Amino acid sequence: MLRIPASIRDAIVAHARRDHPDEACGVVLGPEGSDRPETFLELTNAARSPTWYEFDPDEYKRQVYDRLWDRDEEVVVVYHSHTMTEAYPSPTDVSQAAEAGEPQAHYVLVSTRDPETFEFRSYRILDGEVTEEDVEFVD
């Protein structure tokens, strides 16, 4: 189960709506080994595409890797949006998760295909297998 602050959910959804019609992407960090998402980091979709995302490698190093080393944090959530489809990992998403090397991460997808509402779902993606998990929003 992913327990995530409602304020971080709102920040992820706001980022997804702002970048629509392109996919938005980013991460949420937390203390190493805690499984607590605490620090929201909005990143740039270097692909600038409505159908896939790609982290900018220089930005990722600066914003994520350097911080992980300095503060004993880890990636707890990897998120991105789907702009035209449901919030379910595509085959590309599954292969990117395998390449990312973040087996502890929750993979959050937000669908912005309906301008009046959104879908917010979380998955574990291990060895190419996708498992949806419950999400609890906390204050």
Q: Output the domain CATH number for residue 28.
A: 3.40.140.10
CB atoms within 10 A of CB 107: 24
Q: Which residues contact 8 (CB under 8 A, 6 or more apart)?
A: 28, 37, 40, 77
Number of domains in the chain: 1
CA angle 11, 100, 71 (to 5 degrees): 60
pLDDT of residue 99: 87
Contact status, residue 124 vs residue 2, Cβ threshold 8 Å: no
What is the pTM for the complete model shown?
A: 0.96
Smallest CA-to-CA distance from 20 within 106, 92, 85, 107 is with 85
CB-based burial label for 132 (10 Å; 0-12, 13-18, 19+): middle
In order of 26, 129, 136, the CA distances from 39 in angstroms are: 11, 27, 17
Smallest CA-to-CA distance from 20 within 47, 43, 50 is with 50
State which residues of the chain have pLDDT below 70: none
Domain holding 109, by residue range, is 2-138
pLDDT digit string (tens) for 16-43?
A: 999 999 999 999 999 999 999 999 999 9
DSSP-derived letter for residue 63 is: I
pLDDT of residue 100: 85
pLDDT of residue 27: 98
Smallest CA-to-CA distance from 86 within 130, 35, 42, 40 is with 130
